[in-house]
Chain A
């Protein structure tokens, strides 16, 4: 369970910069995200305090895959870069 990793470390970075395998806690969202899209993100589980794992980076500049609430999502860099996280644990190697 991702929840087991909550609150271990204090390295802060945007979700787009998480390395494959890294687990992080969501801290905040940029004000540039529209209200309706922010709501959708939160409904899917991307909300403050939730733990997210970067599953893998993809070829051809494709949006990376993140696991949250037991589901994998491909999230575009434009969106992921607007989600601030704190790295909890995890490898920096591509799995």
Chain B
């Protein structure tokens, strides 16, 4: 949950640490939440808060030091200072990565100086201790505690070990008892202004002498109390010898991407068939029990045909979230970002743009937020503008519907490649290629119009490879899929009710042509006719400008009314049997691949760019491009 900007609650604990040190996993463990975690630096770009044991815990984006370089670091440090200035902060927890202790200690030592000056307790949480122990090594926690003069605990947020001790000490901050205060430096009542706190931070971070002081001290402590970091690099270096090699790296990347899109279609098919069958059986049982005609029509045409058509595609969204989860957890994403840095640079983007572009295939909104970790303001803006071209999960139902109806279910290369999966891959590739071309064009425009957006150099940390936690990936994918269905379901339900009402009256079921919606649709038909589409498709497109996932539900409702709920064939079969040609289906696919049909995306774009003009231009630009490309595709296919 993102922190509302204005409100700070009482008894606060702030959790900070280096990127990818496991802060969010620890936060989840302490609060019982399920915030997104991944083995990639910069996943947390918003501050999250949650209540636990009488405390309010805050999870901050990762920082390398108290001196910010990227936007997410600036946000983290400014908000930490604001929290300290308001006087409700009881303690700071610094999460240290046991496998990279030297670098973690650099921030920790800065934070220790800062906390000492403010009289705030600081607690060290040495995370990932399981990997140190697994390598047959250990860290001298008692020695570190004595040297640092603050409480330090070894723990594994992944497996939950060592959390009890940390929870025990944090509990003492909820109601400051004298004994706790004596032990952990009593909280001073002195309040600080932001200006004073910024000056303190500047005194700690500015100048070569400060950097040298903290760097030398962190190196000494790591040398004395922890095993050499080389121990933990060996496995990663061995795997990198393949994944980052000339002969293995690019083919491995291409195969992983092809596998991702193949799996979306082929793995989810059995589950989709199951849901489809379940819905048909459910409708078959319930429908005869409804005795009032209009209610039965509403149930069959709006709920089952409309909302039900959308539900069938939920398994594909689940599979997509699962595979992205595996890639994130394994540490491979950072490698892919590096391999793609040069090709993306040609289009004015950066290797860091890869992660938002990939996660945009799940949803553009978190993807746009994740652009905050891109150091260069120009590259960040470019990435933000082109992320909506990537095929988000809301497009999946539309793709699946049309591919299911018009692409034969055959396999190639002896069953190795599914033709429908290949069609999926083609559409996803269309989105990515368009995003990169659009970035290249926008880059030229930005270079001439916004010279103040300076570039920033590229440097990326390679996280260690880790075996993904499949249970948490499945759990997270389940939560996200349900969240998607819940949020989209509400809007689809509302639109479906409106569409059904307009399509049902005045003639009732089976008289769609002469309904109110029929009149409106025929008025709009000239706009979609050049793409070979009839008025029903036009109405579904119009309704889906609010949110593209509405398309399938709307079309389901329209065909439901037309056939008076008697036709129990799937929507794909109804579409292919409706006279729609392959050329029209391709035009429709191209339109949905490129059009901007998501009000939420536009709202986030407005917030992240601070400009009203940018989302407006993005909306019209993408829609016109989609229309033009769809018309071209129709003309070529015809």
Q: Bound complex: CA of A70 vs CA of B237, how far in Å? A: 12
Taking Cβ atoms with an 8 Å cutoff, the residues of B that contact A are: 64-65, 67, 69, 100, 102-103, 106, 205, 208, 211-212, 215, 219, 222, 228-230, 232-233, 236-237, 240-241, 244-246, 249-250, 338-343, 351, 375, 454, 456-462
Q: Which residue of A lies closest to B247 (CB)?
A: A59
Taking Cβ atoms with an 8 Å cutoff, the residues of A that contact B are: 1, 33-34, 36-37, 39-45, 47, 55-56, 58-63, 65, 67, 69-76, 78-79, 95
Given A43-B64, A55-B237, A59-B244, 14 extra CB contacts under 8 A: A1-B230, A37-B457, A39-B67, A42-B215, A43-B65, A44-B64, A44-B103, A44-B459, A62-B341, A71-B462, A72-B236, A74-B459, A75-B459, A76-B457
10 contacts between A and B (CB under 8 A): A39-B69, A42-B208, A63-B351, A65-B240, A69-B219, A72-B236, A73-B461, A74-B462, A76-B459, A79-B459
Of B205, B211, B222, B343, most A-chain CB atoms within 10 Å: B211
Q: Bound complex: CA of A34 vs CA of B233, how far in Å? A: 30
Given A1-B228, A43-B67, A58-B339, A69 contacting B212 (CB threshold 8 A): no
Q: Which residue of B lies closest to A42 (CB)?
A: B211
Residues of B within 8 A of A45 (CB): 102-103, 215
Total A-B contacts with CB atoms under 8 angstroms apart: 132
Nearest 6 Cβ contacts at the A-B interface: A70-B229, A76-B458, A61-B342, A59-B246, A72-B462, A79-B457
Q: Which of B211, B232, B233, B341 contacts A43 (CB 8 A)?
A: B211
Q: Which of B211, B233, B249, B338 contacts A67 (CB 8 A)?
A: B233
Beta-carbon contact of A74 and B338 below 8 Å: yes
Residues of A within 8 A of B249 (CB): 58-60
Q: Which residue of B lies closest to A46 (CB)?
A: B459
Q: Which residue of B lies closest to A78 (CB)?
A: B457
Residues of A within 8 A of B458 (CB): 63, 74-76, 78-79
Q: Which of A43, A70, A76, A95 contacts B100 (CB 8 A)?
A: A70
Q: Which residue of B lies closest to A95 (CB)?
A: B241
CB distance from A3 to the nearest CB of B (A): 9
Residues of B within 8 A of A74 (CB): 338, 341, 351, 458-460, 462
Q: Bound complex: CA of A55 vs CA of B243, how far in Å? A: 14
Beta-carbon contact of B211 and A39 below 8 Å: yes
Beta-carbon contact of A65 and B462 below 8 Å: yes
Q: Which of A40, A55, A61, A71 contacts B103 (CB 8 A)?
A: A71
Q: Bound complex: CA of A44 vs CA of B459, how far in Å? A: 10
Beta-carbon contact of B102 and A70 below 8 Å: yes
Q: Bound complex: CA of A59 vs CA of B246, how far in Å? A: 5
CB distance from B625 to the nearest CB of A (A): 28
CB distance from B53 to the nearest CB of A (A): 34
Beta-carbon contact of A60 and B229 below 8 Å: no
